[in-house]
């Protein structure tokens, strides 16, 4: 039961590491060599103690009185997050959003090349978007095998999302990023993260309304998303 599974890093800390990484990459690009927990905290908009605690989960890579080395920490965070390699992505659903994501260079630049895009609509299959041709969702299994896909992105309508998830899981995918506004039923061995743009706006509207009702004396929304299903 209690396997060692490396170190147990709290989920909340894991979710912050990518943000630190992004900031450190910026620092590296401007030739900054070192940083302190205070500096990173200011840039990330969090508490300095939290930064130190988060980084301490990676190991003791700082130097007291000095700080942390930018490039070394980048390396350690990438190692921890599994970013020493690329993870191939397939997009299911070739609508507006799916095509935009397939072209989106933010994926490739962060080590997540989109190697395929599929749809179930014969009118869309065969179209070319950037360097990819829309495939048939029925070929998902082959695509996953041949292109060594690790992550599936669902950008179908909500009606089609569950069968898209089923197809991905059937093809052996265990990590899914879901943009459809539905709660997917998946085995617990599969990781799902939901990005529901409507939900985000609705959360904003709650805090916006609070501000309006109480004469703007109200605190603002937490920047965290918490699509708290499952």
Partner DNA sequence: AGGGCTTAGTGCATTAATTCACAAAGTCCA
Partner DNA sequence: TGGACTTTGTGAATTAATGCACTAAGCCCT
> Interface with DNA by CB under 7 A: which residues?
10-13, 35-38, 46-50, 52-53, 55-56, 60-68, 228
Region near its own copies per CB under 8 A, out of 6-14, 115-123, 136-144, 164-172:
6-14
Convert 217-229 to b/e letters by CB count within 10 Å (16 or more is b).
Answer: eeeeeeeeeebee
Q: Of 53-82, which residues contact its own copies (CB under 8 A)?
A: 80-82
Residue 110: contacted member of DNA, its own copies, none (CB under 5 to 8 Å, by partner type): its own copies
- Token code pair at residue 93: 């659903």
Q: Of 201-220, which residues contact its own copies (CB under 8 A)?
A: 201-211, 213-214, 216-220
CB of 64 to its own copies, least distance (A): 25
Residue 92: contacted member of DNA, its own copies, none (CB under 5 to 8 Å, by partner type): none
Q: Is 49 in the site for its own copies (CB under 8 A)?
A: no
Euclidean distance between CA atoms 5 and 190, whole angstroms = 17
Euclidean distance between CA atoms 118 and 206, whole angstroms = 36
CB of 15 to its own copies, least distance (A): 4
CB of 78 to DNA, least distance (A): 17
Euclidean distance between CA atoms 121 and 50, whole angstroms = 48
Euclidean distance between CA atoms 54 and 59, whole angstroms = 10
CB of 28 to its own copies, least distance (A): 15
Find out whether 111 and 84 touch, Cβ atoms under 8 Å. no
Euclidean distance between CA atoms 176 and 219, whole angstroms = 33
Residue 65: contacted member of its own copies, DNA, none (CB under 5 to 8 Å, by partner type): DNA
């Amino acid at each position: 039961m209690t396997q060692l599974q490396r170190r147990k890093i709290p989920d909340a800390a894991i979710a912050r590491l990518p943000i630190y990484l992004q900031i450190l990459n910026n620092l590296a690009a401007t030739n900054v060599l070192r940083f302190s927990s205070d500096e990173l905290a200011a840039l990330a908009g969090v508490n300095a103690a939290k930064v130190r605690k988060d980084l301490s989960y990676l190991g003791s890579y700082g130097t007291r009185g000095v700080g942390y080395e930018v490039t070394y920490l980048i390396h350690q965070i990438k190692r921890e997050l599994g970013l020493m390699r690329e993870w191939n992505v397939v997009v299911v659903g070739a609508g507006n959003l799916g095509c935009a994501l397939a072209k989106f260079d933010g994926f490739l630049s962060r080590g997540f090349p989109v190697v395929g895009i599929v749809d179930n609509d014969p009118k869309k299959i065969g179209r070319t978007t950037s360097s990819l041709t829309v495939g048939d969702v029925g070929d998902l299994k082959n695509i996953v095998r041949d292109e060594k896909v690790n992550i599936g992105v669902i950008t179908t309508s909500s009606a089609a999302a569950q069968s898209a998830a089923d197809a991905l899981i059937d093809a052996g995918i265990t990590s899914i990023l879901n943009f459809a506004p539905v709660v997917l039923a998946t085995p617990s061995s599969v990781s799902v993260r939901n990005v529901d743009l409507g939900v985000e706006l609705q959360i904003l509207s709650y805090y916006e309304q609070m501000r309006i009702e109480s004469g703007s004396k109200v605190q603002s929304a937490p920047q965290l998303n918490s699509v708290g299903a499952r």
